[in-house]
Amino acid sequence: MKAKHQRLTLGVVALASLVGAGLLAASALRDQAAYFYSPADLARSPVDPGQRIRLGGMVADKSIRRAADGVTIDFVVADGPSTTKVRFRGIPPDLFKEKSGVVAEGAFGPDGVFVADTILAKHDERYMPPELERGGDGQRHKTGTLKP
């Protein structure tokens, strides 16, 4: 076999390996990916019940309702005029409250309610941990960009 053919064979094998690795990575990502939607996105293009997604938006004012069992929470995620009802069973994060950002991961049930199994509370750039907000020790971290 000539050197030219050996290089060509090596190049074809390398290209086939790269394509194979890319296909494996894409396959693994498809199984684990949960695409992000806002309520406005869901109004434009609904997703099938059971398809895992991430839902993000603001928790609507006066929408948090706690069930009698103490661990089930119903609330509404809003994105402008679009809203989505969400049900979560578990302990929400400390920053979870009305009029704050939230990302919920889960799927729509057959009744059209988004059933979240994970809730991530978002905070704005002005967030300060309670220990630092209480201050008192005179060692607050000062930044030039945060406004009280």
The tens digit of pLDDT for each residue in 73-104 reads: 999 999 889 999 999 999 999 889 898 899 99
Task: Give pLDDT, residue 145.
Answer: 66
Q: Which two tokens stand for residue 34?
A: 């949960």
Q: Which residues line the annotated binding site?
A: 123, 127
Is the confidence at residue 72, as pLDDT, over 80?
A: yes
pLDDT at 137 over 60: no
pTM greater than 0.75 (yes/no): no
Cα–Cα distance measured from residue 2 to residue 32, given in angstroms and rounded to the nearest whole number: 45
pLDDT of residue 85: 96
Helices (H), ranges, the chain: 3-32, 39-44, 130-134
pLDDT at 69: 92
Tokens of 144: 């030039």
Could you tell me which of 51, 48, 115 has the C-alpha nearest to residue 84?
A: 115
Which whole number is the average pLDDT over 48-69? 92
- pLDDT for the residue 2: 84
Q: What is the pLDDT of residues 2-21, one digit of tens each?
A: 888 999 999 999 999 999 99
CB-neighbour burial class of residue 17 (10 A; exposed 0-12, middle 13-18, buried 19+): exposed
List residues forming the annotated binding site for heme.
123, 127
- The pLDDT, as a whole number, for residue 95 is 85
Q: Parallel, antiparallel, or unpaired for β 35-37 and 82-89?
A: unpaired
| Overall average pLDDT of the 113-140 stretch | 73
More confident residue, 129 or 45: 45
pLDDT band at 133 (very low <50, low <70, confident <90, very high): low
Q: Regarding predicted confidence, which is higher, 28 or 120?
A: 120
Q: Which domains does the chain have, with CATH numbers?
A: 33-121 (2.40.50.140)
Beta strands in the chain (DSSP E): 35-37, 53-59, 65-66, 72-79, 82-89, 101-108, 114-121
